[in-house]
Amino acid sequence: MGRRNPGTGDEIRMPPQTEKSLRNRAIDALARREHSRHELARKLALYAENPDQLNDLLDDLQARGWLSDARYAAQMANARQNRYGSRKIAFELREKGVDESLINAALDSLQGTELERARAIWRKKFGQAPASEQEKAKQIRFLQSRGFGWEVIGRVLKLADD
């Protein structure tokens, strides 16, 4: 059944649509950006005939090196490091189903720069030491929401006072 032409009311015949295979959908998604296994499985579940078919496809993609949770975690940590702290990045990776050991490995390289990244984010947003307790609380909440821990936040604000 086709659609009707609004001008004449005649039926417009549409060419038959070819259904994309599950493999093609997966490759298209991976071509656009990295995905975690859990995330890709969730996206493709609607199109899989059964869970075994989906698991076999994901296993094959991992065996070929096209799907990698480790690569996804490293890429995500690298992309987010200039806006967020390690806690927020770790939370986002957990939400995407990445294994805890892969999260720790991806965040290891960020631990040494946590203070500098927090200072840069704080400097961009505020640029000056808080003038009141209310302003200090606002700055603390901001840095917490960006995923920085208490120790880092305290050091950022102490350095701002100096």
CA distance 159 to 119: 9
Residues 6+ apart with CB under 8 A from 134: none
pLDDT digits (tens, 9 = 90+) for 117-150: 999 999 999 988 899 999 999 999 999 999 999 9
pLDDT digits (tens, 9 = 90+) for 88-107: 999 999 999 999 999 999 99
pTM of the model: 0.79
Q: How much is the average pLDDT of 7-24?
A: 67
C-beta atoms surrounding 138 within 10 Å? 14
Extract the runs of DSSP E, i.e. beta strands, from 2-115. 3-4, 11-12
Nearest partner of 121 among 103, 101, 139, judged by Cα: 139
pLDDT for position 111: 85
| Planar angle of CA 43, 98, 117, nearest 5 degrees | 115
pLDDT for position 4: 58
Cα of 28 vs its chain's centroid, Å = 18
Take residue 133 and report the two structure tokens written for it. Answer: 């307790």
Whole-angstrom CA distances from 129 to 38, 45, 108, 156 are: 43, 50, 30, 10
- Bridge partners of 4? 11
Q: Which stretch of 16-30, 41-55, 128-142 has the lowest confidence by average pLDDT? A: 16-30
pLDDT-based confidence at 20, cuts 50/70/90?
Answer: confident
Q: How much is the average pLDDT of 54-81?
A: 95
pLDDT for position 8: 66
pLDDT for position 6: 59
